[in-house]
Every structure is written in C-alpha cells, then in structure tokens.
Amino acid sequence: MIIISNVHKRFGPKQVLKGINLKIYDGESLVILGPSGCGKSVLLKHIIGLMKPDSGQVIIDGEDVTNFDQKRLDALRMRMGMLFQSAALFDSLNVEENVAFGLRRHTNMSDRAIHHIVSEKLEMVGLPGTNYLMPSELSGGMRKRVGLARAIAMEPEIILYDEPTTGLDPIMTSAIDELHLSLKERLGVTSIVVTHDLKSAYRVCDRIALHYGGQIVEIGSREDIINSPNPVVQQFIRGEAHGPMTLV
C-alpha cells in the first residue's frame, strides 16, 4: 500500500502541494485528475523518489521512502515503472535499446532473451517490428507507447502513468486503456494515473481523486465523483470555464 501523508512542496514562492493525504491500495488503479499546473506530476515524482517533500511522508509497504538512501531508493525503483508525459525516450538509443535499458543494466539475461521480451512488450503496445527505429523517427503517440513498453519491461508492481493518453488518437487511447486494465488483471499491478482525459479516467479507474489547490479535494469511485455535490468537482468534470476553480 502507498500512503501519502501530509506532503508539502514549495518551488520558490509557489506552494504546489499543501498537505496532500492519499492512500493507494495494492492492485488498485487510482486516477488523479486536476487542472494543468496544479502539481499532479510533482506528486508522482514524490512517489518514485525523484523529488523529496519539504515535509510529510511517502510510505510504501510500511516504509517512509523519503528517508531512503540511494541504494534502497534504487531497489524500490526496480519495482516501479513510470511513463513520462513526454515519453522521455533516450534520443541516442533505438526503440529496442530504450525498452531493454532496465533489463540490460539490472539483469543478466542473454541478448536473445532480452530481444524476446522487448518484442513482446512492443507487440503489447501495438508497435511490433519497430525495434530498430530511432525515437526521432516516431510520432508523438508512438513515442508514448514505446515509453509504456519501457515502463512495463521489468514487469513492475507499481506503474505511474503521467498523462498516458495525451496526444493519442481515440483508438490508440482505448488500446492503451485496455493494456492498462490487462496489466492490472494479469499481474495485479498497482497503477497511479495522472490525466486530463475523463473518458480514459472513467475506463481505467477503481477510484478517482481530484487534485486542486495543492490538495485532494475529492476522492471516490467513478459514481462518487460524477454525483459529487462539490462544485469544484462538477466544474471540472463538466469542463466549465467559470466556477470556483480558477484557471492557473
């Protein structure tokens, strides 16, 4: 279980996280919704240890990871995968080398076994036969899918998705959502998804949290969110420009 307890984070004069509290249960898929620039990606980076909170705790399986040294943090990261907003593929490596990166650095698998796994993951994300293309030869959507293949290559227990469907066409969005659900069913993966895409969020979520003003203003099942009386929630899900939620 992941527990985020009273996490604060400030960048200069801007307080991005103002005492976030959140519990993510094993095997669940939690979607974090929120307006642009509210700190959703910052929250993900705290969970994987890329950022340290000014105060508060991030507890994973009973241990506060904010106090982890590099070695323990690396061991934790081997259990996690992250899909970045921009895919963050390594420009100088081809698709196969990108997807195989973790396997090559942290396992003793043969080249043949690694190639097999890479091809399997690429097929899962709908990109068979793209092993030797360079990232510069891929479209935005293809880059994102390669990023997802890289995130799942080590078969992690926890996957963090930072806007996984942004820039994808509706069919590919649906395919990514199905892949997400199948990983959850097959491997019992815990997923935390940051997105703006309500349709995709409703499809993959067990619970949805709305992040606004540095805090979680609402959390619950899809129905709880849709029927929430909170005007901030209603404004967000209806996509209205005017209301209690101010534009950043």
Partner 1 sequence: MFLINYFKGLIESLGSMTILFMQTIYWTLNAIKGGRFSAKNLFDQMSRIGVDSLSMVAITGFSTGAVLVVQIGYQFAQMGAQSYVGGVVSLAMARELAPILTSIVVAGRVGSAIAAEIGTMKITEQIDALETMATNPVDYLVVPRFWGCTIMLFMLTIFTNVIGMIGGSIVAIHQIGLTLVAFKDSILHMLLVQDLMGGLFKATIFGAIIAIIGCYKGFTTEGGAEGVGESTTSAVVVSIMMILAVNYFLTVGINNFNTAYLQ
Binding residue for partner 1, selected from 102, 126, 167, 220, defined by CB under 8 A: 102
Looking at the Cβ atoms of 74 and 185, the one nearer to partner 1 is 74
Specify the 3-state DSSP secondary structure of 162. strand
Please give the single-letter amino acid code of residue 96: E
Binding residue for partner 1, selected from 3, 59, 78, 172, defined by CB under 8 A: 78
Binding residue for partner 1, selected from 37, 75, 139, 240, defined by CB under 8 A: 75
Identify the residue whose tokens are 């949805």.
208
**Cα 176 → chain centroid:** 13
State the DSSP H helix or E strand holding residue 120, giving kind and residue range, or none if neither: helix 111-124
Q: How far is the CB of 76 from partner 1 (least distance, A)?
A: 9
Question: How many whole angstroms separate alpha carbon 105 and alpha carbon 150?
Answer: 13
Are β-strands 2-11 and 63-64 bridged in parallel, bridged antiparallel, or unpaired?
unpaired
Q: How far is the CB of 81 from partner 1 (least distance, A)?
A: 8
Q: How far is the CB of 41 from partner 1 (least distance, A)?
A: 9
Q: Does 208 bind partner 1 (CB under 8 A)?
A: no
Binding residue for partner 1, selected from 13, 62, 69, 70, defined by CB under 8 A: 70
Question: How many whole angstroms separate alpha carbon 235 and alpha carbon 216?
Answer: 15
> 71, exposed or middle or buried, with CB in 10 Å at 0-12, 13-18, 19+?
exposed
Q: How many residues bind partner 1 (CB under 8 A)?
A: 24
Looking at the Cβ atoms of 98 and 200, the one nearer to partner 1 is 98
Q: Does 9 bind partner 1 (CB under 8 A)?
A: no
Looking at the Cβ atoms of 30 and 42, the one nearer to partner 1 is 42
Count of beta carbons in the 10 Å neighbourhood of residue 25: 12
Q: Does 108 bind partner 1 (CB under 8 A)?
A: no
Phi and psi torsions of 86, nearest 5°: -95, 10
Residues ≥6 apart with Cβ < 8 Å to 14: none
Question: For residues 172 and 124, is the Cβ–Cβ distance under 8 A?
Answer: no
Which span (97-105, 114-122, 192-200, 229-237) binds partner 1, by CB under 8 A?
Answer: 97-105
Q: How far is the CB of 174 from partner 1 (least distance, A)?
A: 26
Specify the 3-state DSSP secondary structure of 54. coil
Q: How far is the CB of 118 from partner 1 (least distance, A)?
A: 14
Q: How far is the CB of 106 from partner 1 (least distance, A)?
A: 6
By CB under 8 A, name the binding residues for partner 1: 45, 48-50, 70, 74-75, 77-78, 80-82, 84-86, 88-92, 101-102, 105-106
